[in-house]
Amino acid sequence: MFRRLFRIRKEPESKTKEQKKAHDLGYNTGESIAETVYGDPDTSGPDELYGNFQEMETQTADYTNNTLPFLRELAGCKDVTKAGTFTGCSDEAEFVYEELVQIYWEGVSEGVNDTWEELDRRAKAE
């Protein structure tokens, strides 16, 4: 648990707080799935894990009902239906939203790779 406090994270090239939040959400997600799957003989490495996760995750209710609305809200979309979906996006907000989705997935990839490397390093040290 404490090692997370000391892990050096790559800072996103992005500067806005919305982009940082999207990156951090992705990074934490990637970190979590790498910790869960590391050592599973059916997963050959971080690239396979990321690919499988991305393919599977985009079809889940959690991604559709939680991750995407969170990113739309960060982008400045309005919750016009009062259902928490934040689908009322201006053209500008839609553009920002698409950027945030990309930044989220970059964060997932970095979280998977960084965590996998750390777990590999620990396994070799044992």
- Mean pLDDT, the chain, integer: 88
Please state the separation of Cα 67 from the chain's center in Å: 9
**Any idea of the CA torsion for 9, 11, 17, 20, to the nearest 10 degrees?**
-60
d(CA 99, CA 111): 18
pTM: 0.85
**Residue 32: what pLDDT?**
96
- Each residue's pLDDT tens digit, 42-82: 999 999 999 999 999 999 999 999 999 999 999 999 999 98
Residue 9 pLDDT exceeds 70: no
Q: What is the pLDDT of residue 15?
A: 72
- Quick one: what percent of the chain has pLDDT higher than 90? 77
